[in-house]
Amino acid sequence: MKNKPDTIYVHKKSHLVDFIFDDAVVDVFPDMIRRSVPGYENIITMIGLFAEQYVQNNSQCYDLGCSLGAATLALRHHINKDKVSIIAVDNSESMVERCRINIKKDASASTVQVVCNDIQNITIENASVVILNFTLQFLDPDKRMELLQNIYNGMNKGGALILSEKITFSDKTTRDTNIQLHEAFKKANGYTELEISQKRSALENTLIPDTIETHQQRLSEIGFTTINTWFQCFNFTSILAIK
């Protein structure tokens, strides 16, 4: 994927609008997510490892909120089972268009269907692996349980859900410390104070983080047997949940 630098918030904007996944974001997305999400590349690599462990013969994998297809490709490159297809879904037309190009350039065996739709409209069936890599956080919090329940219902026994999210903390000191460390991470990656604060305002109404306890509680209520928080760096986490 091309790595055009993210300069979206370099200049002061007279009118800040809520963050959307449009063509401008698509152009810089690989650079933006790598410089903004601590551990993103590591998580993508481990999705390949999870594919090797949990994908089942004659099953489907879902990448919900696939963006440009990084997780889809990690899955696809590591599927070691027969008759597996991947369904990659995103509701941003700009993302889907670019994702289709990225998938076309890749010659791996498993079929990939890239669907432009809201992940809440997708029927999950015969799923051995489901990826929600930094996507649930963009859904209305009241709708998150229903989506996770639909995913669980469509998963095979022994299948894996990988849920990665930006998180918040109920304790103010822990919350402030992790926000400060995340901002230091962004500064170390070349973002200015102005870029950080403009991005923060643009995401305020769009990305609503839950606590790790809320995520674990939801997954447990739904019936996932193993709920393994395998990654955390500052206010970013990834959970492996097994049905």
Contact residues: ligand GEK, CB under 6 A: 21, 33, 65-67, 70-71, 89-92, 95, 118-120, 133-135, 138-139
Nearer to ligand GEK, 82 or 93 (CB): 93
Give the shortest CB-225-to-ligand GEK separation in angstroms.
25
Give the shortest CB-121-to-ligand GEK separation in angstroms.
8
Nearer to ligand GEK, 33 or 61 (CB): 33
The residue whose Cβ lies closest to ligand GEK is 65
Give the shortest CB-130-to-ligand GEK separation in angstroms.
12
Rounded-to-integer distance, Cα 12 and Cα 106, Å:
39
How far the first Cα of the chain sits from its last, in Å, is: 33
Nearer to ligand GEK, 23 or 118 (CB): 118
Rounded-to-integer distance, Cα 163 and Cα 111, Å:
23
Give the shortest CB-232-to-ligand GEK separation in angstroms.
16
Nearer to ligand GEK, 66 or 241 (CB): 66
Identify the burial level of 102 via C-beta atoms within 10 angstroms of its C-beta, where 0-12 means exposed, 13-18 middle and 19 or more buried: buried
Give the shortest CB-9-to-ligand GEK separation in angstroms.
14
Nearer to ligand GEK, 2 or 83 (CB): 2
Nearer to ligand GEK, 17 or 57 (CB): 17
Give the shortest CB-11-to-ligand GEK separation in angstroms.
21
Strands 127-133 and 226-233: unpaired
Angle between helices 40-54 and 23-36 (to 10 degrees): 90
